[in-house]
Amino acid sequence: MDKIPLHLAIILDGNGRWAKKKGLPRNAGHAAGARVLEDMCEVVWNKGIRYLTVYAFSTENWNRPADEVSALMKLLRDYMRNSVKRAMKNNMRVRVIGDKTGLDSDLQESIASLEEATSQNTGLTFQIALNYGGRDEIVRAVRKLASEHDIDYMRGLTDKELGDALDTADIPDPDLLIRTCGEERISNFLLWQLAYSEFYFADCAWPDFTEAELDRALESYGSRTRRFGGLVKGEE
């Protein structure tokens, strides 16, 4: 495969439907999804992808039934506590984006310690969006800038300055977004960063997403011409 995305973003959709189809509780779907995701970190690195960002829990997911929210938080807590060994072995840098102040303090501490332990790793940068919403991220960034600068700075605010105030500062924008399970929506994910990304929609539910499915998405990406609003050579 010749053209590989540097940064892949994934909306991990369909865990609930996958579980229901198997007669399992929804939470079993999330647990299966988390296992697939951990393996996928290694698969994407081996394809040449250098940044992976996944939508694990949105600012709107708090509206789910309390037992599903606590099962998801437990999964994420377990991941933050137990994955340091595998992350170090794979030289993977883990970062969490989203409003961490809205999370329980023990979870915030586990996140900080995993981020710190892996911060010098030079392999895959794995970004987990947790209590994340694209609109919320932009509002937080604007509020932060307004609290640090005067009105003249805010009046002249540039695209670059706002981008640098987002949770994803210093991470290149995604080249490709994959969403599983047939839905074709962004659902408030990386609204700013997906401005020029290519989109790929896979029919299978996230827990059924395999390396072969990834290859199909990468093949589709490889066949596209990216334009970033301009024209490419030969089109002028």
Token digits of residue 57: 């829990």
Tell me how far, at minimum, the Cβ of 124 lies from ligand FPP, in Å: 13
Sign of CA dihedral 25, 26, 27, 32: positive
67 assigned to active site: no
User: Any catalytic annotation for residue 78?
Assistant: no
The token pair at 135 is 């609109």
CB 183 to ligand FPP: min, Å: 7
Interacting residue ranges for ligand FPP, rule: CB under 6 A: 12-17, 30, 33-34, 37, 56, 61, 72, 75-76, 79, 128
Query: Is the CB of 50 or the CB of 77 nearer to ligand FPP?
Result: 77
**Measured in Å, how far apart are the chain's first and last C-alpha atoms?**
28
- By beta-carbon proximity to ligand FPP, the closer residue of 129 and 165 is 129
Select which of 61, 99, 121, 173 is catalytic: 61
The answer to whether 19 and 25 are in contact (CB under 8 A) is yes
CA 214 from centre of chain: 16
- Residue written as token pair 């949105």: 58
Question: With respect to ligand FPP, which residue has the nearer C-beta, 13 or 137?
Answer: 13
- One-letter amino acid for residue 147 of the chain: S
Least separation in angstroms between CB 192 and ligand FPP: 21
Indicate which residues carry an active-site annotation. 13, 61
